[in-house]
Amino acid sequence: MLENQSVDGIALCAYADVRRSLLEKREIAFLDVREEDPHAQAHPLFAANFPLSRLELDAYTKLPRRDVPIVTLDAGDVDLQDSDALLAARRLVALGFTQVAVFAGGVRAWQAAGGELFRDVNVPSKSFGELVEVKKHTPSLSAAQVQALLAQQADMVIVDVRRFDEYHTMSIPTATSCPGAELVLRIAELAPDPQTMVIVNCAGRTRSIIGTQSLLNAGIPNPVLALRNGTIGWTLAGQQLDHGARREGRHVPVQNALKAAARARAVAARAGVKYVDWATLVQWQAQPDRTTYCFDTRTPEDYLSGHLPGFRTAPGGQLVQETEMVAPVRGARIVLADLDGVRANMSASWLAQMAWDVFVLTGMEQADFVQTGAGMVPTPPVPRVPTITVPELVRGLAAKQLVVLDLAKQAQYVAGHIPAAGYVLRSQFKLALSRLPPAAGYVLVCPDGLLASFAWAEIAALLASPVTVLTGGTSAWSAAGLALEQGPTRLFSEPTDRYQRPYEGRDAPRAAMQAYLDWEAGLVAQLALDGTHHFQVT
């Protein structure tokens, strides 16, 4: 920490403090509290995006230990007293976190001190994937080569290892959806003939590299190769993608599942994965000086049908791809669970190589997976705020007395919002003030009313007219049988809460896609310059 320097009792820290924690593998939650888009433009490697606008919703889930060392970070472009980093630190202290500091000078100071800055999102995982390809010489084919094989009706299967919704949006012709951690479990059903070639694809590079190498590490007898540069490479080659595909992996017979489990355990053993039983895990969860994350690596559907108490859903492929999004405490302990011995072991094998202290839970049976549904998300006590019901809002809108301000994520707002509602980012509310139409009263909404309730006090202080919160949020409006409006109809804030990935959607600019591939190829060199990752490819 900067010696004897603090603001409002909150300590200030510098580059050397954070770097020392990373090098010594001590727990640290290095939190970039900007919105996702500015975060994606430039940030330190292990600075996890933790937007100030959603802080109360995420804090207790993603930071399960109240005394975990936390350092908040922003751009560093305003006076510290007015900074988002300090505001975030104050809010965290108010929520009961006891070791909170602010990174003095923000991203600018990190760079000035010689720290490496990275673009995009999920950079630790993507840079690790590039390192895997370099170290393991993961085999691949170009888009033109795979297209030629399709034209020849070669004996091959193409498996898409992204989330199903990504696959459904756009996919390689004939490809079957098989999200990353499912590969070793399901490949014997998708390619039962060991002579059948298996082509693994994602949108760009990382997940196809990890998926291909997972099959190779597991000793699958088939020839396995990655589709180089995924759907981006396919598009840049001038080849057509499918849209709306629904091909998915089939049921796995017990015999094949047992063989897959044996393969996965062998892979995990080579990576140094450790194991833990339930009794020990319970002791760990009560441990005051150690953060323990518990994740269920099965599909979201499996999780909803029954999961272990205290475990959050994190399908293995996405967990490896987006680790810092669900586990922002670098140096924490991670415990993984499944019911087949495949998905947890394969996911753990990669996390171990990414220098996580990772364990697979053993000794559990189907009867132990007793909780159903989405699981409880811990949040702070919801403040008491003035509210309005759906019928009252309907009458107020009809009388043209009220203006609705929607604090949902921009993607949620576009998917469906109360007619006439305007999108406003909580973190950018001051900037949006001049764009708001005058009204006798303003109504804050979000999907369930929670975020609006947490934001009410600061927003009400900025508006001259009364401010209320819609009880039950947009969900209550829909439940009352009232229609929603779609599209980016009224954006009172710039939608910086979502970084537009160059590989998303059907209309990404070709130049952006090529720039993204070039950026990925340069990540290994950036890793060497940063020097804090501890990655070991086995």
All domains of the chain in start order, with CATH: 6-120 (3.40.250.10), 127-251 (3.40.250.10), 272-368 (3.40.250.10), 387-479 (3.40.250.10)
CA dihedral 191, 192, 197, 202 (to 10 degrees): 20
* pLDDT score, position 140: 98
CA 91 from centre of chain:
22
pLDDT at 454 over 80: yes
Angle subtended by helix axes 183-190 and 206-217, to nearest 10: 80
Q: Cα(29)–Cα(72) distance, rounded to whole angstroms?
A: 8
pLDDT in tens, 467-524: 999 999 999 999 999 999 999 999 999 999 999 887 776 677 888 889 888 888 899 9
Q: Is 449 left (phi over 0), alpha (psi -120 to 50) or beta?
A: left
- The pLDDT score that the predictor gives to residue 510 is 84
State the pLDDT confidence band at 94, using cuts at 50, 70 and 90: very high
Angle value at C-alpha 30, between 27 and 33, nearest 5 degrees: 150
pLDDT value, residue 4: 61
**Predicted confidence (pLDDT) at residue 8 exceeds the cutoff of 90:** no
Residue 218 scores a pLDDT above 60 = yes
How far is Cα 474 from Cα 428, in angstroms, rounded to an integer? 21
Tell me the C-alpha distance between 236 and 317, whole Å.
25
Helix (H) or strand (E) holding 227: strand 224-227
Neighbours of 296 (CB within 10 A): 27
335: confidence class by pLDDT, cuts 50, 70, 90:
very high
Mean pLDDT of 87-104: 97
| 280-320 per-position pLDDT tens digit | 999 999 898 999 999 999 999 999 999 999 999 999 999 99
Mean per-residue pLDDT, 183-196? 97
Residue 163 above 60 pLDDT?
yes
Q: Give pLDDT, residue 89.
A: 98
* Percentage of the chain exceeding pLDDT 70: 99
**Residue with the larger pLDDT of the pair 68 and 288:** 68
pLDDT for 354? 98
Residue 444 has pLDDT above 70, yes or no: yes
pLDDT at residue 251 in the model? 87
pLDDT band at 6 (very low <50, low <70, confident <90, very high): confident
- Kindly state the average pLDDT of the residues 349-373: 97
Q: What is the overall mean pLDDT for the chain?
A: 95
Distances (CA, A) of 342 to 34, 183, 240, 370, 406: 37, 9, 34, 20, 42
Say which range, 174-188, 363-377, 400-414, 493-507, has the weakest mean pLDDT: 493-507
The whole-number pLDDT of residue 372 equals: 94
Rounded Cα–Cα distance for residues 471 and 473 (Å): 6
Q: At what angle do helices 183-190 and 343-353 cross, to 10 degrees?
A: 130
Q: Write out pLDDT tens, residues 387-405.
A: 999 999 999 999 999 999 9
- The structure's pTM equals 0.95
pLDDT at 505: 63
Structure tokens at 17: 């403090």
Q: Name the burial class of residue 505, with classes exposed (0-12), middle (13-18) and buried (19+) by CB atoms within 10 angstroms of its CB.
A: exposed
